[in-house]
Amino acid sequence: MWSKRALVLSALLVFALAALLPLAVMFFSTFFAADGSFSIAPYANVLASGRQWILLGHSLQVAGSATAVALLLGLPLAFLTARTDLPLRGLFSAVYAAPLFMPTYVVAICWRYFIGDVFGVHAVVEKWLGLDKALWQVHGYALCAFYLGLALFPMVTLTTRASLLAADPSLDEAAVLARGGRAAAFRVALRLATPGIVAGAAFVFLFALSEFGVPNLLMINTYAIEVYSQFKAFYDVNAATASSVPLVLLSLLPLVAMRLAERNRRFVVARSERPPHRYALRAWKWPAFAVAAFIVAIGVLVPVASLFVVAGPFENYRKAIALVGEDFLNSIEFAVAAATFATALGFALAYGAARSSGRMAPAALDALSVLPFAIPAGVLAIGFIRLWNRPGVFNLVYGTGAIVILGFVARFLPFAFRAGSAALRHVPPQYEDAARVAGVPFARRFGAVAARLSARGLVAAWIVVFVLSLGELNLTILVAPAGSQTLPLRIFNMIHFSYNNLVAALCILLVGLAILPAAVVFLAAGRKPEVR
């Protein structure tokens, strides 16, 4: 029979085996030279030069500014669609996540080349700013923040909406009664959504910190590039592993921020059967609509429109599909499996952390779950190979797609863990206690109460892991069984060879895949009679 202890222990075991063991293998070997003697030589060179510190600073700058842009775009959209009477909010809710389904690099390409160069927007801006060099040369950092923020802001919207929609309306009503809509919205509604907001911001920060493609595209020098160049140049896996430590430490920053933000104030609040309070925008209705429409426009419409134009005739879509064919199915299969397992594992771990009485264990778990993501994909991959590439039974994993799925789960677990934790913040333990006292066994309590009430957060987690897996490249190349290729490989190949029209067609299809089910459901739901 399942019990909470059994669930959490087995989740921890799976986590340790899948995610931590490969890392442990890698870090362990950094302390031993080729001849087997103990040495800390690989660490001697880490941050040894001032130049590397500067690069680290750049990484921080990119991550921080991207997070700021993502918050600037994602927060208002989340609030306006989830908690106000914004016109067309249903439509916006259905489409805002589209950018997530394109790899960040592709979004950057879209803005840099399609919109920037092909449509001449860069030329216009350069003229306006009076620049004699290219925009990307002068304002590389700003553009990097802009591109990353545009590609990633739906993460913030996703998790923030989950928190906003879990609110008890009487809290808002009490605030409206006391101070009116504006104060209530900013000082109560938004503040109470802090778990979701911080989770989303943490995602963006983490991702942008280890992001390589976009900074490289804009010729911005970051620490990630340093690590990659070492890997590529030296074959010295130990050096690469050692030099990734600073990035790993920086990745713990969002954790610290989260702990600070939630000191003392529990956001656990009793839920209500009534839907969350919607704020009436009144005089602000059309300005707010303009803001939301603008965000959706630059986030979704403009990139998609430019893709449409560059994609060209319908024939290119067929060509793109023909080219991509099986790779696409492979990618979907891996992504769906990874998303499902990661969400389940992440939620089980989050549950263990949220329901534990101590404070050290949850914090430690938080930190540990981030490691497989903070480490460069190449290092993690080598760890996997060392662990799993053995004759015999291991072939069931290493020689098949299972290793890819395992890799994705290990790598993207922190997102599922964070989203699960944020969701559980809104689930008071009393609900499960009530079920327990009533005699409901743990498995059903966990599923029908804890998981069910965290549903929105879990869906957010699933979507994030799904899109991240869909776009993952570096890990896949190193561990995927030869013969099963994935989508990103194709896309990046096509980009490299300027098959722009095919890339564009493919991205339209990816975005369509994201939006279509949601749009269909939205349209179908619209016809249902209002339920009071």
Partner 1 sequence: MASALKLADVTKAVSPRFSIRALDLDLGAAEFLVLLGPSGCGKSTLLRLVAGLDAPDAGRIEIDGRVASDPKVVVPPEARGIGMVFQSLALWPHFTAEGQLRFVLGGKVPKAEIPGRVKEALDLVGLGRRAGAYPNELSGGEAQRLAIARAIVTRPRLLLLDEPLSGADEVLRERLCGEIRALQRRLALPAIYVTHHREEALAVADRVAVMRAGRVEQIGPPRELWERPASEFVARFVGLGNVLRGRATADGRVETALGPVALESANGRLAPGASVVVALRPESIEIVSAGGVAARLDSAAYRGDRCLVRVTLGGESLALFAPSAPSGDVRVAAKGPGIVVAPENPS
Partner 2 sequence: MQKPTSRRALLLHLLVGLAPALALQACSGGGGGNEVVVYCSLDQVYSEPLLKQFEEATGIKVRAQYDVEAQKTTGLVNRILAEKSNPQCDVYWNNELMHTLHLASVGALQPYASPSAAPIPAEFKDASGLWTGFAARARVLLVNTDKVPAGSAPKSLRDLMKPEWNGKFGIARPLFGTTMTHASALFAAWGDEDAKKFFRELKANEAVVCEGNAAVMRVVAAGDVPCGLTDTDDANVAVKEGKKVAVVYLDQEEGGLGTLVIPNSIMLLAGAPHAENGKKLIDWALSPKVEEALAAGTSVQMPLNPSVKTPEGVRSIANVKPMKVDWAAAAAKRDEVSKFLAEIFLAD
Q: Which residues bind partner 1 (CB under 8 A)?
A: 168, 170-171, 173-181, 183, 187-188, 191-192, 194, 264-270, 272, 532
Q: Which does 88 bind (CB under 5 to 8 A by kind): partner 1, partner 2, none?
A: none
Integer Cα distance of 199 and 475 in angstroms: 24
Distance CA 203, CA 457 (A): 14
- Of 211 and 432, nearer to partner 1 (C-beta) is 432
Q: Which of partner 2, partner 1, none has residue 472 at its interface (CB below 5 to 8 Å by kind)?
A: none
Contact partner at residue 483 from partner 2, partner 1, none, CB < 5 to 8 Å by partner kind: partner 2
Q: Which is nearer to partner 1, 268 or 321 (CB)?
A: 268
**Binding partner of residue 443 among partner 1, partner 2, none, CB cut-off 5 to 8 Å per kind:** none
Residue 196 beta carbon to partner 1: minimum distance, rounded to whole angstroms: 14
How many Cβ atoms are within 10 Å of 344's Cβ, its own excluded? 19
269 is in the binding site of which of partner 2, partner 1, none (Cβ under 5 to 8 A by kind)?
partner 1
CB of 432 to partner 1, least distance (A): 17
- CB closer to partner 2 out of 40 and 516: 516
How many C-beta neighbours within 10 Å does residue 525 have? 10
19 or 94: whose CB is closer to partner 2?
Answer: 94
The total of other beta-carbon atoms located within 10 Å of residue 349's CB is: 26
Name which of 204 and 473 has its Cβ closer to partner 2: 473
Please, are residues 119 and 100 in contact by the beta-carbon 8 Å criterion? no
Compute, in degrees rounded to 10, the torsion defined by CA atoms 288, 294, 296, 301.
150
- Residue number with CB closer to partner 2 (67 or 222): 222
Least spacing, CB of residue 380 vs partner 2, in Å: 11
Write down the residue that tokens 């592709």 correspond to: 106
Q: How far is CA 224 from CA 102, 130, 509, in A?
A: 21, 32, 31
Q: Residue 400 has what DSSP assignment? A: S
Phi, psi of 348 (to 5 degrees): -60, -45
Q: Per DSSP, what are the bridge partners of residue 227?
A: none
272: Cβ contacts below 8 Å, ≥ 6 apart: 168, 169, 170
Cα angle 512-515-521, degrees, rounded to a multiple of 5: 130
Phi-psi category of residue 168: left, alpha or beta, with phi > 0 → left and psi -120 to 50 → alpha: beta
Q: If contact means CB under 5 to 8 A according to the sort of partner, which of partner 2, partner 1, none does residue 359 touch?
A: none
DSSP 8-class letter at 97: T
Minimum distance of partner 2 from residue 397's CB (angstroms) = 12
From the list partner 2, partner 1, none, which binds 455 (C-beta under 5 to 8 Å, kind-based)? partner 2
Least separation in angstroms between residue 257's CB and partner 1 is 17
Nearest distance from C-beta of residue 111 to partner 2, angstroms: 15
279: β partners = 84
Nearer of residues 90 and 441 to partner 2, judged by Cβ: 90
Beta bridge partners of 84: 279
CA distance 171 to 191: 12
Q: Is 219 left (phi over 0), alpha (psi -120 to 50) or beta?
A: left
Q: Which does 27 bind (CB under 5 to 8 A by kind): partner 2, partner 1, none?
A: none
Q: To the nearest whole angstrom, how small is the minimum distance from the Cβ of residue 282 to partner 1?
A: 9
Q: CB of 518: closest distance to partner 2 in angstroms?
A: 5
Contact of residue 447 among partner 1, partner 2, none (CB under 5-8 Å per partner type): none
Q: How far is the CB of 44 from partner 1 (least distance, A)?
A: 47
Residue with tokens 């995927």: 480
Q: What is the DSSP string of 147-173?
A: HHHHHHHHHHHHHHHHHHTT--HHHHH
Which of partner 1, partner 2, none interacts with 495 (beta carbon under 5 to 8 A by kind)?
partner 2
Least distance CB 168 / partner 2 (angstroms): 16
Q: Which residue has the tokens 């101590």?
A: 358
Nearer to partner 1, 178 or 521 (CB): 178
Nearer Cβ to partner 1 (37/264) = 264
CB nearer partner 2, residue 365 or residue 382: 382
